[in-house]
């Protein structure tokens, strides 16, 4: 066989060999790719979260960095301190609020030849901790004067005695004790972490009698001035209603109440305009709320040591009440200004 013919026979074999080898390598690559794909698919089946997410080892420093970037929910103690305004949230006896407010006015009684002017000076004192709150009303008769149009001298002492007797019916202290584990705040009110205070029991001496009361569920007693502004909107909003609260009389010397008596009532908290203009003074704050207590009737509500209604005008900067208005169970509205110092002797007249 000539060299030329031999070369013609060998060249096709080389070409076939190269094609076959290339095909085997190509098949090996495809099989390898299919195997890797199968492995990834198997991992994805075992853990669906793996799809489209790069696998990172547990000791990857970048992964640890990402973990540290995730925000952590604040603790309850942190919320109480930063948002509820409690400087020492772990101390239930720490004072949250201590404030006095005054309301001087003059009551005028006109009767024939005798005009009687009664100077009345009322003060409310508030002292709150997480464990309890004390609300004291001090209503004093500072003096009685008369404009007598007749010629005979008159004795004003009986008028003074009568005024003092009537004033005593609207003085005293109500002490509210925070709820315990045996009488917890209901779940539907549990979002009120900062703005509303609750009482499980209370002892009141307002009205000249002493009465101890248990509230089931706990009684909303008022709106706190301590929280940040955002908390008022998120917790109370425009209004909150607290129905079906039972007041049980544990002990009393009030003839209108009896031990073991149960009285069902409700509390309504509503947002007011932040400013209210009255003939005697302007009531204003950053935010204002009215708390209305309703237990059977006006007389019973007052006997339980509650204000029929109260309005608080809150200053966010000082975390105090700027003004306070209330109904003690009379036809009069008592309007209070911040501060315990007596006002000038020129009392404002309130008919």
Tell whether 65 and 111 lie within a shared domain. Answer: no
194 contacts 237 by C-beta, under 8 angstroms: no
Quick check: is 8 in a domain?
yes
The set of long-range contacts for 216-219, using a CB threshold of 8 Å and a minimum separation of 24, is 216/183, 216/245, 216/246, 216/248, 217/183, 217/184, 217/185, 217/186, 217/189, 217/245, 218/179, 218/183, 218/184, 218/185, 219/176, 219/245, 219/247, 219/267
Q: Examine the domain organization and report whether 110 and 211 are in the same domain.
A: yes
178 in a domain, yes or no? yes
> Looking at the domain assignment, is residue 31 inside a domain?
yes
Average pLDDT for consecutive 10-residue bins of the chain (351 residues)? 42 41 43 42 42 49 55 78 87 87 73 70 85 83 68 69 70 91 94 94 91 97 94 95 98 96 97 90 92 94 91 93 80 60 37 35
Whether 116 is covered by a domain: the verdict is yes
Residue 145 lies in a domain: yes
Identify the pLDDT of residue 63. Answer: 55
Chosen domain end from 53, 69, 85: 69
48 lies in a domain?
A: yes
Question: Does a structural domain hold residue 199?
Answer: yes
* Bond from prior residue into 217 cis (ω within 30 degrees of 0): yes
10 inside domain: yes
Q: Which pLDDT does position 281 carry in this prediction? A: 81
For residue 33, what pLDDT is reported? 40
On whether both 40 and 123 belong to a single domain, the answer is: no
Residues 55 and 188 in one domain: no
pLDDT value for 233? 94
* pTM as predicted: 0.70
The per-residue pLDDT for 148 is 66
- CB-count burial class (<10 Å; 0-12, 13-18, 19+) for 53: exposed
Range of the domain at 54: 3-69
Instruction: State whether residue 86 is helix, strand or coil.
Output: coil
Question: How many folded domains does the chain comprise?
Answer: 2
Q: Indicate whether 154 and 51 sit together in one domain.
A: no
Hey, which residues does 102 pair with through a beta bridge?
Answer: 123, 337
Q: Decide: 201 and 213 in contact? Cβ < 8 Å.
A: yes
- The dihedrals phi and psi of 155, each to the nearest 5 degrees, come to -105, 115
Residues 22 and 115 in one domain: no
One domain, residues 234 and 119 = yes
CA 258/CA 249 separation, integer angstroms: 7
Element (H, E) at 24: helix 3-46
Report which DSSP code applies to 79: H
The DSSP secondary structure of 187-235, one letter per residue, reads GGGTT-SSSEEEEEEEEE-TTS--EEEEEEEEEEEEE-S-S-HHHHHHH
φ/ψ of residue 129, rounded to 5: -125, 180
């Amino acid at each position: 066989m000539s060299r030329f013919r031999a070369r013609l026979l060998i060249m096709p074999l080389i070409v076939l060999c190269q094609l076959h080898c290339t095909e085997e390598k190509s098949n090996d690559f495809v099989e390898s790719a299919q195997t890797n794909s199968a492995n990834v698919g198997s991992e994805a089946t075992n853990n669906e979260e793996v799809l489209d997410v790069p696998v990172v080892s547990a000791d990857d420093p970048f992964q640890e960095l990402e973990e540290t970037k995730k925000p952590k929910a604040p603790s309850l103690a942190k919320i109480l301190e930063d948002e509820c305004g409690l400087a020492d949230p772990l101390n239930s006896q720490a004072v949250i609020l201590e404030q006095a407010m005054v309301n001087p006015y003059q009551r005028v009684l006109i009767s024939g030849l005798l005009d009687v002017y009664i100077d009345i000076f009322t003060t409310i004192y508030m002292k709150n901790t997480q464990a309890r709150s004390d609300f004291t009303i001090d209503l004093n008769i500072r003096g009685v004067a008369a404009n007598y149009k007749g010629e005979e001298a008159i004795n004003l002492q009986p008028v003074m005695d009568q005024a003092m007797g009537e004033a005593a019916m609207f003085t005293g202290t109500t002490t509210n004790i925070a709820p315990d584990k045996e009488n917890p705040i209901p779940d539907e009110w549990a979002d009120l972490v900062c703005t509303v205070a609750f009482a499980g029991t209370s002892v009141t001496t307002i009205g000249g009698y002493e009465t101890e009361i248990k509230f089931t569920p706990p009684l909303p007693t008022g709106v706190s001035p301590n929280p940040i502004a955002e908390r008022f909107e998120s917790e109370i909003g425009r209004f909150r209603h607290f129905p079906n609260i039972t007041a049980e009389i544990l002990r009393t010397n009030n003839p209108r109440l009896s031990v073991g008596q149960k009285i069902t009532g409700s509390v309504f908290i509503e947002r007011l305009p932040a400013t209210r203009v009255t003939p005697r003074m302007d009531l204003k704050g950053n935010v204002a709320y009215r708390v209305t207590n309703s237990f059977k009737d006006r007389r019973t509500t007052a006997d339980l040591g509650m204000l029929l209604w109260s309005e608080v005008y809150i200053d966010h900067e000082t975390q105090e009440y700027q003004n306070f208005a209330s109904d003690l169970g009379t036809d009069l509205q008592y309007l209070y200004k911040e501060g315990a110092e007596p006002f000038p002797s020129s009392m404002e007249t309130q008919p």
